[in-house]
Amino acid sequence: MNGKCDNSRYFILLVLLFNIGPIQAVDFTYSGYIKSYALIQDEIEFENSPAVIPDEFDNGYQSQNAVRLMGNWFTENSGNVEVHYEIQPVYYSNTSLVGSAGGIGSTLSTGATIYRYKDLDVELDQYGNHMVVFQNLDRLNYQYSNETGDFTLGRQVVSFGSSRFINPTDIFIPFNIQTLNQEYRVGIDAIRYQAALGDFAVLDTGLIIGEDAKKENSAFFIRGKNSLKGNDVELIVIALDDAWLLGGGLERAIGDFGFWFETAYMDVTNDVVENYWRTSIGSDYALTKSIITSVEYHYNGAGSDNPDDYLQLVTQFPYQKAGVFLLGENYLIPAVSWIANPLVTVNASGFINIDDHSAFINVVSEVSWTENLYSDFGMYVSYGDVLESQISPQQINLGSEFGSYPLSIYASLRYYF
The answer to whether residues 408 and 107 touch, using CB atoms and an 8 Å cutoff, is: yes
d(C-alpha 113, C-alpha 138), whole Å: 11
pLDDT tier for residue 287 given thresholds of 50, 70 and 90: very high
Which residues, at least 6 apart from 47, have a Cβ–Cβ distance to it below 8 Å? 385, 386, 387, 388, 389, 399
Largest CA distance in the chain: 69
Q: What is the pLDDT of residue 388?
A: 81
Fold adopted by 3-416 = Porin (2.40.160)
Beta bridge partners of 412: 37, 376
The DSSP code sequence of 16-74 is HHHHHHHHHSSEEEEEEEEEEEEEEEPPPPBSS--SS--GGGS-EEEEEEEEEEEEEEE
Burial profile 311-343: b = 16 or more Cβ within 10 angstroms, e = fewer: eebeebbbbebbbbbbbbbebebbbbbbeeeee
Q: What is the pLDDT of residue 394?
A: 67
Per DSSP, the three-state class of 121 is coil
Q: What is the pLDDT of residue 58?
A: 80
- Per-chain mean pLDDT for the chain: 91
Q: What is the pLDDT of residue 261?
A: 99
pLDDT tier for residue 391 given thresholds of 50, 70 and 90: low
pLDDT at 328 over 70: yes
Question: What letter does residue 387 receive in the DSSP assignment?
Answer: B
pLDDT at 62 over 90: yes
Q: What is the pLDDT of residue 52?
A: 57
pLDDT tier for residue 262 given thresholds of 50, 70 and 90: very high
Mean pLDDT of 67-73: 98
CA separation (Å) from 181 to 147, 184, 209, 399? 35, 8, 26, 28
pLDDT tier for residue 199 given thresholds of 50, 70 and 90: confident
Mean pLDDT of 75-84: 93
Q: What is the pLDDT of residue 102?
A: 63
pLDDT tier for residue 95 given thresholds of 50, 70 and 90: confident
pLDDT at 24 over 60: no
d(C-alpha 40, C-alpha 168), whole Å: 32
Range name among 89-103, 275-289, 309-323 with the lowest pLDDT average = 89-103
Q: What is the pLDDT of residue 1?
A: 46
* Domain parsing of the chain, residue ranges: 3-416
Burial of 395 (0-12, 13-18, 19+ CB in 10 A): exposed
Q: What is the pLDDT of residue 49?
A: 64
pLDDT at 22 over 60: no
Helices (H), 189-329: 310-313, 317-320
Percentage of the chain beyond pLDDT 70 is: 90
Mean pLDDT of 243-249: 98
pLDDT at 11 over 70: no
Q: What would the pLDDT profile of 342-390 be if each residue is shown by its tens digit?
A: 999 999 999 999 999 999 999 999 999 999 999 999 999 999 999 887 7
Question: What letter does residue 187 receive in the DSSP assignment?
Answer: P
d(C-alpha 88, C-alpha 76), whole Å: 35
pLDDT at 242 over 50: yes
Q: Cα 264 to the chain's mean position, in Å?
A: 18
Q: What would the pLDDT profile of 103-146 be if each residue is shown by its tens digit?
A: 788 899 988 889 999 999 999 999 988 999 999 999 999 999 99
Residue scoring higher pLDDT (105 or 399): 399
Virtual CA dihedral for 6, 7, 12, 15, nearest 10 degrees? 150
Virtual CA dihedral for 7, 12, 17, 20, nearest 10 degrees? 180
pLDDT at 23 over 60: no
pLDDT at 210 over 90: yes
d(C-alpha 241, C-alpha 47), whole Å: 41
